[in-house]
């Protein structure tokens, strides 16, 4: 597997984009609505290392409990079904079975780490990425 990005929940997308680009020097790396989740995501990338942060804004989310800002960590899985089978056999809890988002090209699933942190597993179609 390959680590892809960290996702954080943001209160205001425009303010967060300004902070990460103008203050921290990251560069915009894509933005889109996720209608079925009532959310919008935007990626920013470190031009030197390539590390990415996904900014996630949830429609209607106005308050945050401590620790809620970390949304998930994302890893690429070449074979999502085999990866989930291996993780299940190791006792890993699956939070969301594989599915596709509208507008997405690959499948995703979510598992939980021992601290209940969500880990997104992304399977890109052959030949992409």
36-50, 83-97, 111-125: least confident range: 111-125
Catalytic residue among 15, 22, 54, 120: 120
The CATH number of 2-123, from 3.40.50.300, 3.30.470.20, 3.10.180.10, 3.40.50.720, is: 3.10.180.10
Q: Is the Cβ–Cβ distance between 109 and 34 less than 8 Å?
A: no
* Whether residue 54 lies in the annotated active site: no
Banded pLDDT at 122 (limits 50, 70, 90): very high
Does residue 129 register a pLDDT over 80? no
pLDDT tens column, 30-68: 999 999 999 999 999 999 999 999 999 999 988 888 778
CB atoms under 10 Å from CB of 66, counted, come to: 5
């Amino acid at each position: 597997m390959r680590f892809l990005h960290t996702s954080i929940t943001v209160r205001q997308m425009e303010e967060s984009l300004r902070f990460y680009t103008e203050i921290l020097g990251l560069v915009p790396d894509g933005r889109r609505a996720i209608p079925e989740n009532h959310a919008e995501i935007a990626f920013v990338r470190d031009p030197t290392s390539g590390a990415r942060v996904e900014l996630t804004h949830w429609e209607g989310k106005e308050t945050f409990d401590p620790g809620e800002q970390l949304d998930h960590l994302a890893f690429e899985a070449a074979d999502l079904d085999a990866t989930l089978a291996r993780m299940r056999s190791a006792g890993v809890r699956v939070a969301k079975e594989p599915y596709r988002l509208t507008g997405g090209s690959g499948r995703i699933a979510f598992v939980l780490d021992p601290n209940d942190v969500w880990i997104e597993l992304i399977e890109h179609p052959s030949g992409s990425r």
